[in-house]
Amino acid sequence: MIEFFAKYFPNVVYQGWTGDGGWLPAIGETIYMTFWSALFGGILGLIFGIGLVLTDSNGILSNRTAFNFFDKIVSFFRAIPFIILLAFIAPVTQKIVGTQIGTTAALVPLSLGVFPFYARQVQVALESVDRGIVEAAQSLGATYTDIIFEVYLKESRSELVRVTTVTLISLIGLTAMAGAIGAGGLGNMAIAYGYNRFATDTTMVATLLVLIFVLLVQVTGDFLARILNHRKK
Amino acid sequence: MAENIIELDNIDVTFQQKKRKIEAVKDVSLHVEKGDIYGVVGYSGAGKSTLVRVVNLLQKPSAGRVKVNGDVFYENLNGKETVIDSKKLREKRRKIGMIFQRFNLLNEQTAVENVEFALKHSNLKEKEITEKALKLLELVGLSERAKSYPAQLSGGEQQRVAIARALANDPEILISDEATSALDPKNTIQILDLLKDLNARLGVTIILITHEMDAVKRVANRVAVMEQGQIIEKGTLHEIFTQPKQQLTKEFVGGSLEAIATLKTYHLAKLQENEKIMQLIFTGATISEPITIKLYRDFNVEANIIYSNIEVLGATPVGTLFVIIKGIEKDRQAAIAFLKEKGIVVHQIGEEELSND
């Protein structure tokens, strides 16, 4: 087995499991970046998505100024290509993390890069909740908190899982670019150790691992979306 | 006279759409007495739904006064607007149940959870909330489906869950916004009878918005007819049905218009001299009297029945008769006076109304 790999994937074996440039750290970095930026970006995206729906002209807290605030910020960050955002946001990253490079530093641009995308997706998911159900809740004397959690979030939970899956997958794509600021990960492995060194086998294996990662997210997401859905198909 | 539980006075509702102003409700006043089942009928777009949403301020009016159960929810009579505080409004809303055309249940929660949702802010303990929710489902005849999700229930069952939910906080008022419009005839009747039963057993006042006159005939005791944002006619069910004044009301109650439409399809022979077409409307007790025989014997007036129909309003049967009466002017007048004295509503129908051309 090892001989087989050594013969056909010499560069993959050369990278080794551990140590600098090893496969395990690369996988770990990708998971690390995806997890934390999904968490920070996700919370931010949820807040903005909910904000957009509530303050919209037919929302329960309709407020033009607040809506414009959410809307403009989301549009602004969505408009910046991620690779430029990495550089553009560097001074802020320096302030927050203390350094501009490395895996942890990448969390700042990653979170900011993914949140506007997620916010729009959350907005669409929440808007799929029938306005009549919100009205019924209001007629029952429900509070704003009830309406946000029990009506908007709970009613759209299956849709939310679906858009979260889509967002996570695009986030994995973004982490590959974070290699540009020395964040490591599988994307960096594919480019820095694979492509730049003409080690096609390394690029292939790194790609394959990203693919497996994406597939896992997709399958889990689809499964959850299905079991959480009690609405009419 | 019973006290008014809902008082809507001079209500205006105006929507600003781009540059256009849309007056959905114009200067409407509506008073509902405790224990009433008040039907509000009209075609879609007449402003019925907008008007009743004013009762629990789901729709804030632009002018007028909203008073529910003694509390002023909204007042704007001379440009100064006062609106009830939102925390207080939420508490008051719990005493005004509402059911909808499309049920509006929480799809990701079971039937019993839907009812429990309404009880979230009651002072009951969690266990008591479940108990009460189950009891309410039993009240609407759905105890076996407590664990079902709305998508697993039929339309009629979903509306029952919605009724249980609307009744959760023991409301004094129940607003039904086209609640039977999405249901088949059998379920419609069952839901209407359930509403009537709840009105009788719990004394809950009901506002019934509908475009189906049959629903109103079945359960309401008072009726208002709306057109283009205004109430064009209102009164007891019996008044509206037996003596409709506005053209639209006549269309809704059917009765005479239907009869005339039917009669038009026949080619009636031209009326003779001394012949007149009359519409007679009987209610309750008078329905069983042998009127035609009496007319002939006592007044020397012949009555030839050309159309008849019986409908049930609430629980009272109401009969409509179209007759051609024949007799000299003096006898006819005396006969009509006699009929009116008997409590029979008499309308003379012009010949041209029935002519086919």
B304 strand-pairing partners: B324
pLDDT of residue B346: 85
pLDDT top residue among B10 and B303: B10
Would you say residue A232 lies in a domain? Answer: no
Would you say residue A32 lies in a domain? Answer: yes
Q: Of chain A residues 82-101, which have a CB less than 8 A from chain B? A: none
Question: Which residue's structure tokens are 């490079």?
Answer: A101
In this complex, the residue of B58, B149, B151 whose CB is nearest that of residue A139 is: B58
pLDDT of residue B1: 55
The answer to whether the beta carbons of residues B234 and B224 sit under 8 Å apart is yes
Q: Kindly tell me if the per-residue pLDDT of A121 is higher than 60.
A: yes
Structure confidence at residue B357 as a pLDDT band (50, 70, 90): low
pLDDT of residue B267: 61
pLDDT of residue B25: 94
Q: Dump pLDDT digits (tens) for B65-114.
A: 999 999 999 999 888 899 999 999 999 999 999 999 999 999 999 999 99
Of the candidates B194, B199, B201, the residue with the CA atom closest to the CA atom of residue B179: B194
pLDDT of residue B161: 97
In this complex, the residue of B104, B106, B121 whose CB is nearest that of residue A141 is: B121
Torsion of CA A90, A95, A101, A106, to 10 degrees: -70
Would you say residue A94 lies in a domain? Answer: yes
pLDDT of residue B347: 82
pLDDT top residue among B297 and A108: A108
In this complex, the residue of B56, B106, B169 whose CB is nearest that of residue A155 is: B106
Would you say residue A10 lies in a domain? Answer: no
Q: Which residues are CB-contacts of B295 (< 8 A; sequence separation ≥ 6)?
A: B301, B302, B303, B325, B335, B338, B339
Measure in Å the smallest separation between the Cα of A150 and chain B Cα atoms. 9
Q: What share of chain A in percent tops pLDDT 90?
A: 75
d(CA B294, CA B287): 14
pLDDT of residue B27: 94
Residues of chain A found within 8 Å of residue B161, distances taken between Cβ atoms: none
Q: Dump pLDDT digits (tens) for A29-87.
A: 999 999 999 999 999 999 999 999 999 998 999 999 999 999 999 999 999 999 899 98
Measure in Å the smallest separation between the Cα of A6 and chain B Cα atoms. 54
Q: Of chain A residues 177-206, which have a CB less than 8 A from chain B? A: none
b/e map of B208-232 (b: 16 or more CB within 10 Å)?
Answer: bbbbbbebbbbbbbbbbbbbebbbb
Residues of chain B found within 8 Å of residue A143, distances taken between Cβ atoms: 90, 121
Helix ranges, chain A (H)? 2-8, 10-15, 23-55, 64-79, 82-88, 90-97, 103-127, 131-139, 144-146, 154-155, 157-177, 185-188, 200-227
In this complex, the residue of A143, A231, A232 whose CB is nearest that of residue B90 is: A143
Structure confidence at residue B315 as a pLDDT band (50, 70, 90): confident
The verdict on B243 touching A (C-beta cutoff 8 Å) is: no
pTM of the model: 0.86
**Of A101-105, A194-198, B76-80, B163-167, which one has max mean pLDDT?**
B163-167
Q: Which domains does chain B have, with CATH numbers?
A: 1-95+202-239 (3.40.50.300), 255-354 (3.30.70.260)
pLDDT of residue B257: 65
The answer to whether the beta carbons of residues B8 and B51 sit under 8 Å apart is yes
pLDDT of residue B18: 78
Q: Kindly tell me if the per-residue pLDDT of A95 is higher than 90.
A: yes
Would you say residue A4 lies in a domain? Answer: no
Q: Of chain B residues 9-68, which have a CB less than 8 A from chain A? A: 56, 58
pLDDT of residue B266: 67
Mutate to test the interface with B, among A138, A139, A143, A151 (most CBs of B within 10 A): A139
| Range of lowest pLDDT (A154-163, B146-155, B209-218, B262-271) | B262-271
The verdict on B104 touching A (C-beta cutoff 8 Å) is: yes
Q: Dump pLDDT digits (tens) for B235-252.
A: 998 888 888 888 888 777
pLDDT of residue B268: 65
Q: Dump pLDDT digits (tens) for A173-227.
A: 999 888 878 888 998 888 888 888 898 999 999 999 999 999 999 999 999 999 9
Would you say residue A195 lies in a domain? Answer: yes
Average pLDDT for chain B: 88
- How many domains would you assign to chain A? 1
User: What's A123's domain CATH number?
Assistant: 1.10.3720.10
pLDDT of residue B324: 86
d(CA B95, CA B246): 35
- State mean pLDDT over B269-278: 79
Cβ–Cβ of A146/B97 closer than 8 Å? no
Would you say residue A156 lies in a domain? Answer: yes
Residues of chain A found within 8 Å of residue B15, distances taken between Cβ atoms: none
Q: Kindly tell me if the per-residue pLDDT of A1 is higher than 90.
A: no
**Which residue range forms the structural domain that includes residue A180?**
25-227
Residues of chain B found within 8 Å of residue A137, distances taken between Cβ atoms: 106, 117
Would you say residue A30 lies in a domain? Answer: yes
- State mean pLDDT over B204-208: 96
Using CA coordinates, name the residue in chain A closest to B118. A140
pLDDT top residue among B247 and B162: B162
pLDDT of residue B52: 94
Average pLDDT for chain A: 93
Using CA coordinates, name the residue in chain B closest to A151. B106
- State mean pLDDT over B279-306: 80
Q: Of chain A residues 105-134, which have a CB less than 8 A from chain B? A: 130, 132-133
d(CA A11, CA A15): 6
- State mean pLDDT over A121-145: 96
Structure confidence at residue B294 as a pLDDT band (50, 70, 90): confident
Residues of chain A found within 8 Å of residue B98, distances taken between Cβ atoms: 136, 139
